Chains A and B, each alone.
Chain A
Amino acid sequence: MKNEEPRIGVFVCKCGTNIAKVVDVPAVAEYAKDLPHVAYAGWQLFTCSEEGQNIIKKHIKKHKLNRVIVASCSPKLHEPTFRRTVIDAGINPFFFEMVNIREQVSWAHMKQKDDYGEATEKAKDLIRAGVYRAAELESIGSTTQKVPPVCMVIGAGIAGIAATTLLADNGYEVHLVERSPALGGKSAQLGFVFMTDTCGVCVPPRHGEMARKCLSKRILLNDPKINVYTQTEVTQFSGYIGNFQARLHSKPRGVNIDTCTLCGKCMEVCPVEVPNEHNYGLDNRKAIFYPYSQAVPRAPVIDFDTCTKCGKCQQICPVNAIHLDQQPKETEINVGTVIVATGFDVFKPEGLYGYGEYPNVISQFMLARILDPMSPTDGQLRRISDKRLPKRVGMIQCVGSRDPNYYSHCSRVCCQVAMKHAVYIKEHWPDTQVTVFYKDIRLQGKEYERYYLDAQRLGVEFHRADITDVKEDNNKSLNLTVDHHNGTQEQFPVDLLVLSAAMIPARGAKELARTMNLEVDLDGFFREYHLKLAPVDTTTNGIFLAGACSSPRDIAEASFMGAAAASHAAIPMSKGEVEVDLAKSIVDESLCIGCANCYAVCPYSAIYMEGGVAKTIEVACKGCGICVVECPAEAIQLRHYRDKQIYSQIEGLLANIGASKK
């Protein structure tokens, strides 16, 4: 096939009027006929249609074509379609070349003044470049990689748990890795959740099931397919789909969860008291503590950072479950796929609106802890300073989000959270006045609007305003300077001020991204492969995203994203293998000098050093080409994007420059 004379077929697409309105498609097709090696050129209304593809196949046979060019939309959209078409016609898919004359030509030049003018010329230039490149293309094969039915899920919040249960139900083995001592993630702190006002981890029975169940409990107690690692982080990560290796570092718990009966004696005798992070410091906990009521695993945990190792708990424990000398544990696991569901953290608005300075300025998460039936105040609304019922509650939206000085993104859930708390307060303490200061109320979702109207009916006040100043008075109440968006200004006193702080990437997300070679977006969230068409995929094959680690999401979204990630991860695991094409980097070992630059820069760990030369793992390689650029000896080439292919494309693009001026 290599020495065969190229016979190129060029198929120009009108895409209805999408391209034809701006580009003179028949003229472009006519032009393409005279280009070197072109055996056929024509145009169609919709090349991607069944009919259009059949025409391609017909012409491949009729004109004995061995290279096919389709000039239409972005290759991201239809390259797979046409590759399939040429495979059906008996041509290697890498002899197909796509030229983008929609996104790059007709849409970009929609506003050109004269009909068909320069846009048509540009389309011709791009097609000529494609033709020159097509003549240099090579046939590329594929290989397969086995994928064991084992998945690692990082993060046991709503998304991670949803993915884990689904995978386990489908018969896959799951390693669930959680950094904190208990499962449930941030939703365990919420008490009750928006819309349904129910517990965040409580799931209604599915068809055929008899009772409601608690997500986090069911996992640990029932399923032999699930291995749970609490207080564990991923410290090393390497490999590729079907063969990921992760090194897990587990902090010691100090308590044997199998023998512990949760009698609570150890927590009574412990002399160390520190602020309770689960309740945002509303109360204190001991150095040996149970993270929160209902926490799973059902056993206390020792905080070895503050523990003095006095041994009192060990003496009093009736079942000898406490081991103060327990050591950290390292585990190595080998998995086929990975789901990252590391969630988010809440922005600490230090210095904004008096947060951190005045005791009665709190965040919505703290308010959630106050209103939780299991809270230190027993679910009673209380101020922080004097533990009295506030008469006036103010809420400020978009604290840290949609703010060029902090985070540019909309955190999406704050409107829901504020709404939930406002309604809850109004329902339980009708005399308390609740005022929400907002920029925009962004509530969209099933039946969300009804909740909003309910809030208004209950008497929650909504003011579109900026708060320019917050001052504390003698009563520890707060005096807000409100700039209404209608131009008026007023002083507004409140007893408790609640800030709807932004959702930001989880602590350690950056380090995890580095460990696992995940891409990170401008706000620091993990980047999905494609925002719309592949929202749970990452650039690394076999690693998927779920929940708020890729963008702020509410519980509903997190749970269905967990399900989506589980079903995506199940695809290669159920097939047992993945097919991988070999359009990947390839090392010329006679030129390689073993400097290991490529090995160091490869974002996908697809290169390893052996015998003083670099070698590519084709299954892991994504074909990004960084190694090609990096190689000082230029010993690496990327198949399908070899130097000569790119140079001939450039040559084709520029071939007409002199001619058009004449």
Chain B
Amino acid sequence: MTVRIATMGMAGCSGCHIALLDTGTALLDLLKDVELVYSYPIVDTKNPIPPNIDVALVEGSIRTDHDQEMAKAMRKQAKCLIALGACSAHGGVNGLANTFNAQEGVEYVYHKTVLMAQKIVPHENVPQVLPADLRLSDVVKVDFVIPGCPPNPDEIAKVITTLLAGETPQLSKKSVCDECPLERLTEIPKKLRRTHEIPELGTCLLSQGFLCMGPATRAGCNAECTHRNMPCTGCRGPAETVWDQGIAMLDALAAMEEDQVANFKLPRLAGTFARYTYASSKLDNLRKGVKKK
């Protein structure tokens, strides 16, 4: 029996779909056993969501009432609903919008930006913006999460093949440091540095003072960024035991010298420490308000 798979995109960039296609030859192998019944970038999806979907991969966060309805509709048809990518899993970069009032944001876009000369906020026949950006699990029950921005193609293939084999896939419980090849120094950074102050090769970036989110971030990406001497930005969300990714890293940096912490003026703390997880962070009050309603 062929397995019916659907994919769907909400507030996102389609990057996760690209990652899905990027599974390459693995995808060809998969397609032998799989029927792609609904997928807007790949097959025609003008019909309503078809019934009896076995696995649904949902990209993007919930930003409008349309997204919300589509998520619910997909949940009804899908036996297994997978949140694909950072936006869907943790709110993603979109989640940073929750540091602003949504209505003010809409007004800014339609009144103050140059392109919107008419200064009218459209309200007919268009989806309405929700007061906050939500992750998928805020709206419907999610069975499994594939994190990452974008998600690792190998991991996508592995999760789907595991599911096809009738087993429960597992994400790594460790943090990115576990896969990172850089040499750790057993000392706290003396001074914080920004990425343009080029890091030394081969030495732990955090020890050098570059804000690497690795320690608090879930492993599974093979530490692709730190391999290339780029600090981890935390796209895979909190590691298994971590309560809140951003707070855990802030806590960790509090061990630095007092004056360094006091001078800690990284622009936009939320965007630095909770770049992909603000909408699922304990810091985000806006989202909590929306969920209650």
Q: Chain B's nearest CB lies how many Å from the CB of A625?
A: 12
Chain A residues, Cβ within 8 Å of B239: 591, 633-634
Q: A346 an interface residue at 8 Å Cβ cutoff?
A: no
Chain B residues, Cβ within 8 Å of A629: 251
Complex Cα spacing A634 to B255, Å: 15
Q: Is the CB of B252 within 8 A of A634?
A: no
Q: B195 an interface residue at 8 Å Cβ cutoff?
A: no
Q: Is the CB of B188 within 8 A of A635?
A: no
Q: Is the CB of A630 within 8 A of B251?
A: yes
Determine the residue in chain B with the shortest Cβ distance to A599: B186
Q: A601 an interface residue at 8 Å Cβ cutoff?
A: yes
Chain B residues, Cβ within 8 Å of A633: 174-175, 177, 215-216, 239, 241-242, 248
Q: Is the CB of A634 within 8 A of B206?
A: no
Q: Is the CB of A597 within 8 A of B178?
A: no
Q: Is the CB of B184 within 8 A of A597?
A: no
240-260 of chain B: CB within 8 A of chain A: 240-243, 248-249, 251-252, 254-255
Complex Cα spacing A643 to B241, Å: 10
What are 10 residue pairs bridging A and B, where the CB atoms are less than 8 Å apart in the complex? A591-B173, A596-B187, A597-B188, A597-B252, A630-B252, A632-B242, A633-B174, A633-B216, A633-B241, A634-B241
Complex Cα spacing A590 to B174, Å: 8
* Most interface-central of B173, B185, B252, B255 (chain A CB within 10 A): B255
Proximity bits, A621-653, B CB within 8 Å = 1, else 0 = 000000001111111000000010000000000
Proximity bits, A584-600, B CB within 8 Å = 1, else 0 = 00001011011111011
Complex Cα spacing A411 to B210, Å: 48
Determine the residue in chain A with the shortest Cβ distance to B252: A632
Q: A275 an interface residue at 8 Å Cβ cutoff?
A: no
Q: Is the CB of B184 within 8 A of A594?
A: yes
Determine the residue in chain B with the shortest Cβ distance to A637: B241
208-256 of chain B: CB within 8 A of chain A: 214-216, 239-243, 248-249, 251-252, 254-255
Chain B residues, Cβ within 8 Å of A612: 184
Q: Is the CB of B241 within 8 A of A595?
A: no
Q: A609 an interface residue at 8 Å Cβ cutoff?
A: yes
Chain A residues, Cβ within 8 Å of B242: 632-634
* Most interface-central of A596, A630, A634 (chain B CB within 10 A): A634
Chain B residues, Cβ within 8 Å of A632: 175, 215-216, 242, 248-249, 251-252
Determine the residue in chain A with the shortest Cβ distance to B173: A591
Q: Chain B's nearest CB lies how many Å from the CB of A366?
A: 37
Determine the residue in chain A with the shortest Cβ distance to B248: A632
Closest 8 CB pairs of A and B: A632-B215, A593-B177, A596-B186, A632-B252, A634-B241, A600-B188, A632-B216, A633-B175
Proximity bits, B180-196, A CB within 8 Å = 1, else 0 = 00001111100000000
Asked whether A595 and B173 contact (CB < 8 A) given A612-B184, A630-B255, A632-B248, the answer is no
Q: Is the CB of B215 within 8 A of A593?
A: yes
Proximity bits, A478-499, B CB within 8 Å = 1, else 0 = 0000000000000000000000
Q: Is the CB of B184 within 8 A of A591?
A: no
Starting from the known contacts A596-B188, A631-B248, 16 additional A-B residue pairs (CB-CB under 8 Å) come to A591-B174, A591-B239, A591-B240, A593-B175, A593-B177, A593-B184, A593-B214, A594-B177, A595-B184, A596-B186, A599-B186, A600-B255, A601-B188, A630-B255, A632-B252, A633-B242
Complex Cα spacing A599 to B184, Å: 13
Q: Chain A's nearest CB lies how many Å from the CB of B190?
A: 11
Determine the residue in chain B with the shortest Cβ distance to A634: B241
Q: Is the CB of A595 within 8 A of B215?
A: yes
Q: Chain B's nearest CB lies how many Å from the CB of A592?
A: 9
Seen from chain A, the residues whose Cβ lies within 8 Å of a Cβ on chain B are 588, 590-591, 593-597, 599-601, 609, 612, 629-635, 643
Judged by DSSP, the binding face of B is loop
Asked whether A631 and B252 contact (CB < 8 A) given A591-B174, A593-B215, A594-B177, the answer is yes
Complex Cα spacing A601 to B255, Å: 6
Chain A residues, Cβ within 8 Å of B248: 631-634
Complex Cα spacing A630 to B175, Å: 15
Q: Is the CB of A609 within 8 A of B252?
A: no
Q: Is the CB of B252 within 8 A of A635?
A: no
Chain A residues, Cβ within 8 Å of B207: 595
Q: Is the CB of A630 within 8 A of B186?
A: no
Q: Is the CB of A609 within 8 A of B216?
A: no
Chain A residues, Cβ within 8 Å of B254: 630
Chain A residues, Cβ within 8 Å of B175: 591, 593, 632-633
Proximity bits, B134-176, A CB within 8 Å = 1, else 0 = 0000000000000000000000000000000000000001110
Asked whether A634 and B243 contact (CB < 8 A) given A590-B174, A600-B255, the answer is yes
Complex Cα spacing A600 to B185, Å: 12
* Most interface-central of A594, A600, A609, A633 (chain B CB within 10 A): A633
Q: Chain A's nearest CB lies how many Å from the CB of B236?
A: 13
Determine the residue in chain B with the shortest Cβ distance to A596: B186
Determine the residue in chain B with the shortest Cβ distance to A594: B184
Complex Cα spacing A595 to B253, Å: 11
Q: Is the CB of A595 within 8 A of B178?
A: no
Chain B residues, Cβ within 8 Å of A631: 248, 251-252
Complex Cα spacing A609 to B174, Å: 19
Chain A residues, Cβ within 8 Å of B241: 588, 591, 633-635
Chain A residues, Cβ within 8 Å of B186: 594, 596, 599, 609
Chain B residues, Cβ within 8 Å of A635: 241
* Most interface-central of A588, A593, A596, A631 (chain B CB within 10 A): A593
Q: Chain A's nearest CB lies how many Å from the CB of B238?
A: 9
Q: Is the CB of B174 within 8 A of A595?
A: no
Chain A residues, Cβ within 8 Å of B255: 597, 600-601, 630
Chain A residues, Cβ within 8 Å of B185: 596
Q: Which residue in B187, B216, B243 is a CB contact (below 8 Å) of A600?
A: B187
Complex Cα spacing A635 to B177, Å: 12
Q: Chain B's nearest CB lies how many Å from the CB of A599?
A: 6
Q: Chain B's nearest CB lies how many Å from the CB of A43?
A: 38
Complex Cα spacing A632 to B187, Å: 14
Complex Cα spacing A588 to B175, Å: 13
Chain B residues, Cβ within 8 Å of A594: 177, 184, 186
Complex Cα spacing A631 to B249, Å: 8
Q: Is the CB of B251 within 8 A of A595?
A: no
Chain B residues, Cβ within 8 Å of A590: 174
Complex Cα spacing A632 to B216, Å: 5
Complex Cα spacing A594 to B185, Å: 8
Determine the residue in chain A with the shortest Cβ distance to B241: A634
Chain B residues, Cβ within 8 Å of A630: 251-252, 254-255
Complex Cα spacing A662 to B192, Å: 52
Complex Cα spacing A107 to B242, Å: 38
Complex Cα spacing A179 to B207, Å: 37
Complex Cα spacing A221 to B175, Å: 62
Q: Chain B's nearest CB lies how many Å from the CB of A605?
A: 13
Chain A residues, Cβ within 8 Å of B187: 596, 600
Q: Is the CB of A593 within 8 A of B178?
A: yes
Chain A residues, Cβ within 8 Å of B204: 595
Complex Cα spacing A600 to B252, Å: 11
Q: Chain A's nearest CB lies how many Å from the CB of B163?
A: 26
Complex Cα spacing A602 to B26, Å: 48
Complex Cα spacing A29 to B187, Å: 52
Chain A residues, Cβ within 8 Å of B206: 595
Q: Chain A's nearest CB lies how many Å from the CB of B207?
A: 8
Chain B residues, Cβ within 8 Å of A588: 241
Determine the residue in chain B with the shortest Cβ distance to A593: B177
Q: Chain A's nearest CB lies how many Å from the CB of B212?
A: 10
